[in-house]
Structure 1
Amino acid sequence: MLSTPARQRVWAWGGPIAVTLLAAVLRLWNLGSPHSLVFDETYYVKDSWTLMHLGYEARWPAEADASFNAGDVDQYLTDGSFVVHPPLGKWIIALGLAIFGAQDAVGWRISTAIAGILLVALVAVIARGLFHSTLLATIAGGLLAIDGNAIVMSRVALLDGILTLFVMLGFGAILLDRGHSARRLERWRRRRAEAGRSIDWGPALWWRPWLVAAGLAFGLASAVKWNGLYFLAGFAVYTLVVDAVARRRAGVTFFGSGVAFKQAPVSFLLTVPIALVAYLVTWTGWFVTDGGYYRHWVQQTGSTWQGLLAWVPVDFQNFWHYQASAYAYHIGEHQPHGYQANPLTWLLMIRPTAMFYQGSDFGQNGCAVTRCGESITGIANPFIWWGAVAAAVYLVYRVVRYREWQVGAILTGLAVGYLPWLLYLNRTVFQFYTIVFEPFLILGLVFVMGLLLGKRSDETWRRVGGIRLIAVILVAMVLVSAFFFPLWTGMQVPLEFIQLHYWLPTWR
């Protein structure tokens, strides 16, 4: 099939493009249904609408959802609303509102749908760089394209899908920096060797544009939701470990202390300032207007900073108070919710989030049986999810045993996306938060699939057996996605059909 260069080029582009187009169909089809705000769309869509008109998130009258659903979208007040997530994700949602209008439900969700489509393409590109295989890249993008958690988070106007896109942009930049910095280190080593100079501490590499890009991407991720900071911090440590390993291989005598005292400060300056600037820029609307929440808190309460901090402009004093208040809210959010999911249960997918349900009796809303239902539930494809979790457990062993850099990179993303949530076991959180590290789970699963597929140099029986096994697994995953698709997209189906999807009692 790939016997000519032309066919190889078609496959190299065609595979990832095909799964991206599949993702587009699954995310854009009937996107405007239901024409009602679902789950936290009640916050983010309306906040995005006021952000676009006022420059800050404003309050709405009580029970405003019904009138908003009906097309009366201008009932917002001018008083600032206390929102606990930064504004970038809502600005991106506002782009869709600007194009389609707030009366059209497609306008509410088109931005997150496009983010989900781009995420599939990006994961395929990253997989191609990690595994040097178009087949594995196509599988990685394809699995994300058909997974229920990814589909749901692309079809509702929540922030987490947008967050995930920026996180994966940062991860891709980290991988590019790994190769770029290794090549520069090797050139430095050769020059030192040719000059007969010792290789003691190693250089401080300033020209690392991909590291700067990673800092920017993670800063923008943090400007969508604060857990983007975990990726900034986690991958900062990862790059230092990679730098130390590269210096050791290059023969640098003091490779550890060289990284700690020479490269680490440089890497900090290349990432953290641009991340901070990116975060602050997204708050421009709040700074240049007067109606935002806590915009004049210092002046109104007489709480101006004194002493050594008296020089700080009052605008930033107000901003700091806002951020501190939002942080206090985040760590203190314990209000019970019917679909809250303890992070200890996330990997087992014990309590997926039902975001929308509407029941109809015979003759209502086109229901042709005794009882129908329309559901949007963030149940990941069970075969993909549980298979990926099992693969991740195996990869922990594998990184210890073989120290493959691809496995280390994947597990780093998984760890910084998941482990920090174990510090907040009593906080009200949800299963759909897992979307931010699901691409790393899928990359881990695809890595294991690559091991099962084997190499072209393997014996024929081994190679054919691996191909057949993976083919059966992929067909099963596709069939399960087809089975669950109505529950991910709000299609009206008989109630008995919905109940067939409750594989665990806790999924009801």
Structure 2
Amino acid sequence: MLIFALSLWLRLWQLNHLNTLIFDEIYFADHGFSYLKQLDLFDVHPPLGKYFLALGIWLHAHLLGGAEAFRAASEVGDLDAIAYRWFNAVTGSLIPLLVGAIAYQWTHRDRTTLLAAGFTALDGLLLVESRLSLINVYLLFFGFLGLWCFGQAIAQNMAFKWLMAAGLFWGASASVKWNGLGFILGFYMLYSFAWILEEVRHWRPSKVNKQDTKQVEQDANNLLSDQNKNLSNPENQAQKTRKTFDFLTQINLLKIGFGLGVIPFIFYRLQWIPHLQLHPNFTFLEMQRQILGYHESIGSTVDDHPYCSPWHSWLWMRRPVAYYFDRVELNGQTVIFDIHAMGNPILWWLSTLAICALIGKWLSSLGDWWNQDPINSSQWCFHTLLISQYVANFLPWAAVSRCTYIYHYMAASLFALMTLAWWVDIGLRKRHWLWQLLSWGAIALIIAGFIFWLPIYLGLPLSPEAFHRRMWFRSWY
């Protein structure tokens, strides 16, 4: 609750002190306003995210005293910025809780949970995106909510209702932006890997095959006995998680196809209905072709946009995006107002090291599985989930030819933060002074980094000297 309270306060505090449209607010906030006023618009993304922006403006007008200003406004810029930003701020403050909930589902460790939620709350890019009328927070919210539902499905013997709920929310994530499909792709990677393990297990040395056969028989007996146990018991849920790969290979293909194929598509199709009713000259398929054509027409160089950055540069945050910059003279002194869409550098660099180390550890464990013991632990399943979701939300950008930006890395970055939380918890559990020093040092540096760069997340006034001290590299300007 303290993490949530801090997240909410940071997102709502002086939310309108820069009371003007910033960066893509000129599109997204305007689209939400246009839906309410029934004005013509052309959007380059599916409409769900803008529906929520419209909902925020509507609630502000009808419940928070903004009715008169809304009636008089002819464009979204006529409104107070709080009207089109507050709903994003509340939604963004819930994402650290979702990340923590998922970490607890798979580890059942309080400290890992708190670290994962805390690190997410200390990410600067998520804070910036939450304080502006942008739509990436909805992609993340629905994506991680779907992942939590998937965890519930595993904990409850692959309950079909939770599998459908996961498909519904992942369909909602893709209905904000198409790259929300990364969460579904992550599931199918996990599912495919479970089947690969099932097939390859018979090719291993005979010594291991005998061990594995005994393990499979034992797991089958455990699964049968678990049917009559109380699934709400956390210990039983942990037991279910340890058998993730056994469960995945036992899911009926029709259930997977319906829950994680048909359900997301039905949701995606239905959410277009309000938009198409306002624009009856376009069909559903015509809108998809127009969106695809727009993205294919965007160039891929800094000549097309000064803040373009290749996908591999996001790992070390080479090129953040300046959402807002203004230099003014106040009382004879120069003051800079800047909002930089950049992560907490310490957090991002450490999380990049953490995910790389986890991938190395995971590959090593595959070698052990081939030569010695079968793998059937909740920890290894958690690692596989993190890696599959990270890869699915990150590597597809390597094939994108259009101009890309650092905020496209947001979904993958949160899985890297969860990985870092797991490593730090491991270090805190060790008694050796070096591990303790590294773990507490990492936490302290992450907090210090967040405080140091906080003024350029919130757009607070800075002297030129203070601003330049925060721009450590020329590529950050």
> Does TM-score exceed 0.5, indicating one fold?
yes
Alignment match of 1:296 (pick from 262, 269, 281): 281
1:104-152 Cα distance to aligned partner (Å, 9 max, x none): 2111111211111110111111112222221221111111112111111
SS of the residue aligned with 1:437?
A: helix
2:436 is the counterpart of 1:470: no
Question: 1:36 corresponds to which letter in structure 2?
Answer: T
Alignment match of 2:454 (pick from 474, 477, 485): 485
Question: 1:324 corresponds to which letter in structure 2?
Answer: R
The TM-score with structure 2 as length reference comes to 0.80
Matches within 5 A, 1:70-149: 80-101=40-61, 103-149=79-125
**Aligned equivalents of 2:196, 2:149: Cα separation in 1:** 19
Matches within 5 A, 1:383-394: 383-394=346-357
**Aligned equivalents of 1:501, 1:210: Cα separation in 2:** 45
1:318-363 Cα distance to aligned partner (Å, 9 max, x none): 2111111211212231171111111121112111010001111242
Deviation at 1:20, TM superposition (A): 1.2
Aligned to 1:24: 8
Alignment match of 1:33 (pick from 4, 17, 34): 17
Alignment match of 1:226 (pick from 178, 182, 192): 178
Deviation at 1:449, TM superposition (A): 1.1
Number of aligned residues: 406
Aligned to 1:322: 287
Alignment match of 2:428 (pick from 453, 459, 462): 453
SS of the residue aligned with 2:166?
A: helix
User: Does the C-alpha gap of structure 1 residues 47 and 388 become closer, same or farther in structure 2, counting only changes over 3 Å?
Assistant: same
2:311 is the counterpart of 1:343: yes
The TM-score with structure 1 as length reference comes to 0.75
Deviation at 1:99, TM superposition (A): 2.3
Deviation at 1:181, TM superposition (A): 3.1
Preserved CA contact (<8 Å) 1:244 1:259: no
SS of the residue aligned with 2:14?
A: coil
Aligned to 1:196: none
Preserved CA contact (<8 Å) 1:161 1:436: no
Aligned to 1:395: 358
Aligned to 2:27: 43
Aligned to 1:373: 336
1:267-326 Cα distance to aligned partner (Å, 9 max, x none): 111221111121122112124x2x41xx325xxxxxxxxxxxxxxxxxxxx211111121
Question: 1:52 corresponds to which letter in structure 2?
Answer: L
Question: 2:417 corresponds to which letter in structure 1?
Answer: I
**Aligned equivalents of 2:476, 2:273: Cα separation in 1:** 42
User: Does the C-alpha gap of structure 1 residues 448 and 262 become closer, same or farther in structure 2, counting only changes over 3 Å?
Assistant: closer
**Aligned equivalents of 1:467, 1:92: Cα separation in 2:** 44
2:466 is the counterpart of 1:497: yes
Deviation at 1:100, TM superposition (A): 2.2
**Aligned equivalents of 2:194, 2:133: Cα separation in 1:** 37
The range that moved more, 222-231 or 126-135, is: 126-135
Deviation at 1:482, TM superposition (A): 0.7
User: Does the C-alpha gap of structure 1 residues 356 and 319 become closer, same or farther in structure 2, counting only changes over 3 Å?
Assistant: same
2:299 is the counterpart of 1:334: yes
Deviation at 1:25, TM superposition (A): 1.5
Question: 1:383 corresponds to which letter in structure 2?
Answer: I
Deviation at 1:217, TM superposition (A): 0.8
**Aligned equivalents of 1:319, 1:327: Cα separation in 2:** 13
The range that moved more, 109-118 or 233-242, is: 233-242
2:257 is the counterpart of 1:268: yes
1:415-452 Cα distance to aligned partner (Å, 9 max, x none): 1111111001x311111122222210100111111221
**Aligned equivalents of 1:33, 1:395: Cα separation in 2:** 42
**Aligned equivalents of 2:126, 2:261: Cα separation in 1:** 29
Question: 1:419 corresponds to which letter in structure 2?
Answer: L
Deviation at 1:262, TM superposition (A): 7.5
Deviation at 1:396, TM superposition (A): 0.8
2:37 is the counterpart of 1:53: yes
2:396 is the counterpart of 1:427: no
1:346-402 Cα distance to aligned partner (Å, 9 max, x none): 112111010001111242xxxx63x11001101211110000001111111111122
Alignment match of 2:270 (pick from 281, 296, 300): 281
**Aligned equivalents of 2:188, 2:197: Cα separation in 1:** 15
**Aligned equivalents of 1:246, 1:118: Cα separation in 2:** 37
**Aligned equivalents of 2:261, 2:446: Cα separation in 1:** 40
**Larger-Rg structure:** 1
User: Does the C-alpha gap of structure 1 residues 146 and 262 become closer, same or farther in structure 2, counting only changes over 3 Å?
Assistant: closer
User: Does the C-alpha gap of structure 1 residues 118 and 246 become closer, same or farther in structure 2, counting only changes over 3 Å?
Assistant: farther
SS of the residue aligned with 2:324?
A: strand
Question: 1:115 corresponds to which letter in structure 2?
Answer: T
RMSD of aligned C-alpha atoms? 2.5
Preserved CA contact (<8 Å) 1:45 1:108: yes
**Aligned equivalents of 1:393, 1:220: Cα separation in 2:** 30
Alignment gaps of 5+ in structure 2: 62-75, 202-214, 221-244, 367-379
State the percentage of identical aligned residues. 25
Deviation at 1:21, TM superposition (A): 1.1
Matches within 5 A, 1:197-208: 207-208=159-160
Relative contact order (alpha carbons < 8 A, sep ≥ 6): 1 or 2 greater? 2
Question: 1:338 corresponds to which letter in structure 2?
Answer: P
Deviation at 1:233, TM superposition (A): 2.8
SS of the residue aligned with 2:470?
A: coil
Structure with greater proportional helix content: 2
Question: 1:87 corresponds to which letter in structure 2?
Answer: P
